[in-house]
Amino acid sequence: GDEDAYYNPQNSFLSDVLRRKKGIPISLCTLLAAVCARLGVTLGAVSFPMTFHLVLPASQELGPEHPLYIDAFGGGVIKSRDEMVAWLRAHNFTGAVQPHWFEPCASGEVWARMLRNLVGIAQQQGQRPNPEVLQLRLLASMLATASTASGHQDQTAQVRL
């Protein structure tokens, strides 16, 4: 993860994350989930407060007995549900823990959180973000990453906004 420049917008664009080999939890989880999917392993995205993880669901057949949470930003450390709660408490979270935080979220929620992150970064930097441009930039970044991963270079996916 990019601990030195966590709020750098490049940490949210997958093509930049691949090029720089640095990112934030949500972008690193997105890439790790894509690699695992190509290997036949399905991981769920977990939109946790203050961070983002992947989950390998419990399975009666081949999977773990209890869900395992993967911290891509923390170097791929595997955590239990209790360790996830402990992480929240260690980061001064005092609210009630919600059960849905531990469940996989929809891809639209991942997209929305990435966009909210970018809007928040722009606002912190005193800029007036244009959500439409940010959405297009995220999409172009994802398309470029997908075309590179599949071995096909799609010129339209390389557009920089």
How far is the C-alpha of 29 from the C-alpha of 26, rounded, in Å?
A: 5
- Report residue 145 as tokens: 């990453």
Residue 31's alpha-carbon distances to 26, 131, 135, in angstroms, are 9, 23, 18
- Report residue 11 as tokens: 């940490």
Each residue of 84-138: pLDDT tens digit?
999 999 999 988 999 999 999 888 888 888 888 888 888 888 887 777 677 777 7
For 133, residues 6+ apart whose C-beta sits below 8 A from its C-beta are 161
Each residue of 67-81: pLDDT tens digit?
999 999 999 999 999
How far is the C-alpha of 15 from the C-alpha of 31, rounded, in Å?
A: 10
How far is the C-alpha of 68 from the C-alpha of 61, rounded, in Å?
A: 15
